[in-house]
Structures are given as C-alpha cells and as structure tokens.
Structure 1
C-alpha cells in the first residue's frame, strides 16, 4: 500500500536521535579518530581538524580564503518544512562561526522512501531552500540516497579574508565570553518527542533554531574578537572546552548568567532531557570544576545538546560593548556575557 501524507508517521519516530543530539559523543569520537593521520601539511590550509574547529579554511590568495563545512542529522521536529529550515540554518552556522560569508551549498539527503510521502520530502527540501534563499545563496546540487532513517543537511562553502578568520583556538586570558543564543534546545526537543511541549515552547524552539548566525562576519571584523565557535551537539561546556584546549587556557562561567529558552529549566527539573546530555558529561566531565551549588538540573543544562545554537565569542574586555551591540543590532536580543577565559589549567569552572 502506498504511503500517504495523512498516514505518514511522525518524522521524529523514524530516527533514534534528533538534531545535533545525533552527534557521536566527544569521547567516542576521540577514540574513533585515534591513530588517524592528518596527512601531509598544506601551507594554504589555514584551519584543519587539529582543534575541532567549526569548518576548514583554505587560502586562495592574499585576499580570499574558502570556508568548507558539512552538517546533517535526523529530524528534531515533526514538521518537514521546519526540519529542513533547522538543518540548513545549523549547517550554515559553521561558515559564519569562522567569520565567513556563505556563497553556495549542496544538499545532503537520505530518506526512507517506503515510509515518507513525496510531499513530506519535498517540504524538507523546500525548508532548506528557504533558509539558503534568506542567506542569499543557492543550493547548487547535492546527493541523495534511500536511507533507513530520514537525514538532511548541507555541505556549505563560504569566503573570508584570511586575516578575518576567527578560530576556536585563539582566545586570550582575560577575554570575556559572550553567548549569542539561549540554551535548552535539546530539552525542548525531548519534550516535543514526549508530547510535553506546548505551542509557545515550540515557537520559541523554532525561532532560535532557524535564526541564521549571519552576525559572524560583523563580529569577526571587531579587532578585539579573538576566537569564535558555535554551540551545538556537545553543549556549552563541550564547545567551551574545545576553545580552552585549543587556546591552552581555562574558563570560568556563571550558571546564573546563562540565557535559557522559556521552560527549559522546569522541563529539566521534571526529568525531560536527551540521552546526549549524559553522554556529553561522561565524555568531558573530568575537565569541569563545578561549584558547590551546582545541581543535577544545572548539569543537564550545561551539557544539553544544542541544534543550530548560538555563537560563543571570546573578546577583549574593551571590545565587549561593541560585541554586545553588534549582536543586538543583528537581532540577537538574548546575547549576554557568561564568563571569562583565564590562565591556568585547561578546564571550565562553573560558579
């Protein structure tokens, strides 16, 4: 019997994970990559895989470098159009996080053709196309397969001036840390899958996950911005720790200053969260120095996997006002300072 749209299952029921919560846990990924060779060094490769940065950057000439990245995952929501939008927004974020401007994308499509109606698949593709149109770029092709689980994402290319590349490994001691979007996407997505997310919560989740981090190039143009990354599947702690390891520094953040999506804390207190939170803590908890007042709910929030999360910026204190103004002028009202980089052990202290 042919599948019809009305009889089609929920997208989230077809996958074992969703959004950036699908990412392989940091410790498992490190084990898988153990012993792999980075290959022969290339003088023009400005950013490779050495510091787990957001994208590769390759110098073309003195004025231009190409930014290349790929990102894809299984559904985090049931609405096909929203799924496509979220996946595309998330993929383009890696270009913005390097200070680059996207120029084109290729679609990555894996769909269970025997379970999804053609209309659903077309809506997923339309969602991705809408986001790329908003970013001013074409989806110029791609690749598709018949897959057991629905998968969608992009391979994205961008351009950046070589001197404006912002890596995750160039933070300096004393830098202020600013987070551009609120946390809690993983928790809200878990609530959605359990049927416990209300309409307001869904709107808040869609609003943040489909907001392009197009502010990245403007932030990179500020002299005092030393490092950037985006917060995705490893949670705020995991991606901050990548910044610490790359920079050879520690960091201290304030739990009360972390911006949260409405309802995220109360849902976490009620036991609603993803399995990725526990996997994240198991991977990097030994490098976290929690304060005495840190609760189990706090830990869930700190390790919550973000999908299409915010930019995390390390900047000089004298540039903090410019960074906050740039975020807010570009529509990121939730952007706030959350802590500071510091000399000493490579770890994150949570107050």
Structure 2
C-alpha cells in the first residue's frame, strides 16, 4: 500500500487508542515508527512488528532467509534484540512441500542466528507465495532508538549498500548479470543485529532501516519526525554492483514511482544529478541497512567500532536545519 493511502486508512484508528488511555504504549499509532513499543516494567519494553512479502529471489531457502531478516530488521532499528518469532505463510496448494520446507528452513535458521526462538505461526492458501514473520523483541525503555532524534550537525551513516531492489527486479525479468545476484542476496540476508549493537554501544540520536520506502522515503520520515533537514551526498552513497547499470536501463520496479509520487515533493535535487540516479534513490530496498544520525564528535569512534567488528559503514550526509531532503552531488 502506498504511504499516503496507508496513513489515510490508519488515521481514524488513532482516536481509538489515545496515549492517555494506553500510557505504556511508548510507540504506536500516534508516534509511528519502524515498530510498536510497549513498556512492561521499568527495565523491559516489548518491541512488536511483522512483515511478509512475495518472493524476491528464485531460491526458496534464500527467500525465507531474506524475508526473515527483513522482518526482524525493525526490531534492530528500534535498538532491540529479537526474542520470539512466528511464521506468517500464504502458499498455493500446488506448491511442492519440499519448496515450502526450504522457505521455512531459511526463515528458521535466520531467527536462530538472531538469537531468537521460532514458536509456530499461521498458514493460509494463497495464489502467490507469501512469507514473513511476526516478531517480538526486547529493549530497555531508556535505550529505544527512533526516527525522531536527528539534530542539526549530526552526520548520517548507512550500514548496507543500496540497490538490491533493482537487482531483484532485473533478476525477475531475466535481465540481471548472474554475477550481480549473489552479492545482492548476501546483503539482503545479512542481519542488522551487529550494526544495531554497535550503534547502541557508541550512541546515536536517530535510527531507521531502509526498506520499501527507499532511502529518500525513509530519510524523509527521519527528517519529518526530527523537525530537521537531511542532506545526502550522491558520490558517497554505496551501491551493490549492477545497480547503476540497471538504473541506466530503466529497470525500475513499480514501487519506485509510488515512492516518488509520495515523497518527491519533499526532496530537492541539485542540478546535474541525472534522472536515473534520482529514480534509483526512490527505488524500494529489501532488508536494507540502518540509516543512523550520529553526533559529529562520535563519528570517528562509530566508524572505528564498525571497522573493528568487520561491519561496513559509510558516512553519506548530514543533518541541517530546515525541512525535507536535500540531495547533492
């Protein structure tokens, strides 16, 4: 569902769940973020989220692992750890049992890697395969990360390369170079767990994961929640191999246009940034990395901690006063 349409249908529900009636709901419909957060005790808050989608790759095991990593990413974006997960499944009756088993195995092993327990789930018949997870995470109420804390002067860091969405689209159309697919799959399967732990260790002001709304869409959400302006430098943005090529060939998924329609009016592009790059920055990502806003005096420590842990990180922009998104060369 497009972001604007989603906001429209959720708006009437806000009056049913007012914050004063549910004071333990720290993050919900009135303070939307990557996941809901409910305070249980002074030391424990529950993070609740779910996500599922149709196949983005042909291999069933990889599909299950990517879908699981994507679903759990919201827990990491909120600063927590995965505790429990349930399968969400929609499969055609004609889909071989062996294929279903591989999808579920991919998801289960990814939950195990995250340190969580898979405790069951629910399955329905569907014409097209759909798989994902409902996930419960845990976090200390004082250590919740949200989109809304970015401050002017902060620097912006990204923990995974962009472009996996257009690689997956090219692969679906048999237009992808076979050499470009495995690195994109590996990126989508990689958990954001270590990145979130390092971000918590150093301390960051804001965090979100880059998924279906694209870098610019999720970046705008951070800017809007923070009351600030985000500036991205195109030359600093990392991309998986092949992404620029398929952008030049205009192999964009339908979600690119939806994101541009919704968020485009909030984005200012510097002259000289080509249309292909503009579209690529509106292209949905799957199981993307974390976008972090960190105080400038902590950036050297952040990059050192990531490098020491063998985790990639790129400094891709900064937070300024104002509104919306600015994209410069």
Give TM-score scaled by structure 1 length: 0.89
Please give the alpha-carbon distance, in whole angstroms, between the structure 2 residues aligned to 1:209 and 1:331. Answer: 17
User: What does residue 229 of structure 1 align with?
Assistant: 208
Query: SS of the counterpart of 1:221?
Result: helix
The counterpart of 2:3, out of the listed 21, 26, 37, is 26
1:274 aligns with 2:244: no
Tell me the SS of whatever aligns to 1:36: helix
Aligned-pair CA distance for 1:326: 3.0
The answer to whether the 8 Å contact 1:183/1:304 transfers is no
Is 1:107–1:141's contact at 8 Å kept on the other side of the alignment?
yes
Asked if 1:47 corresponds to 2:3, the answer is no
1:123 to 97, 102, 105: 102
RMSD between aligned alpha carbons?
A: 1.3
Aligned residues: 324
1:231-255: CA deviation from partner (whole Å, max 9, x where unpaired): 0000000001000111111111111
Structure 1 position 107 matched with structure 2 position 87: yes
Q: What does residue range 282-301 of structure 1 map to in structure 2 within 5 Å?
A: 282-301=261-280
DSSP 3-state at the match of 1:113 = coil
- Contact between 1:172 and 1:342, CA under 8 Å: does it hold in 2? yes
Instruction: Summarize deviations over 1:9-37 as a string: whole Å, max 9, x none.
Output: xxxxxxxxxxxxxxx22222223334332
Per-residue displacement from partner, 1:71-122 (whole Å, max 9, x unpaired)?
A: 11111011111100000000111111111011110110110112x1111111
Aligned equivalent of 1:12: none
CA separation in 2, counterparts of 1:50 and 1:339?
29
Q: Distance in 2 between matches of 1:36 and 1:45?
A: 15
Kindly indicate whether the alpha-carbon contact (under 8 Å) linking 1:100 and 1:158 is maintained by their aligned counterparts in 2: yes
Which structure 1 segments of 5+ residues have no match? 1-23
TM-score of the superposed pair, with normalisation by structure 2: 0.95
Q: Partners in 1 of 2:83 and 2:267 — Cα distance?
A: 38
Distance (whole Å) between structure 2 residues aligned to residue 338 and residue 50 of structure 1: 30
* Alpha-carbon distance change, 286 to 181 in structure 1, aligned in 2, over 3 angstroms: same
* 8 Å Cα contact 1:219/1:326 also seen in 2: no
- Match for residue 237 of structure 2? 258
Quote the offset at 1:198 in angstroms.
2.4
In the TM superposition, what is the alpha-carbon distance from 1:51 to its structure 2 partner? Answer: 4.2
Unaligned runs of 5+ in 2: none
Residue number among 61, 67, 70 corresponding to 2:47 in the alignment:
67
8 Å contact kept, 1:90–1:307: yes
Q: Which residue of 1 aligns with 2:37?
A: 57
Give the aligned partner of residue 248 of structure 1.
227
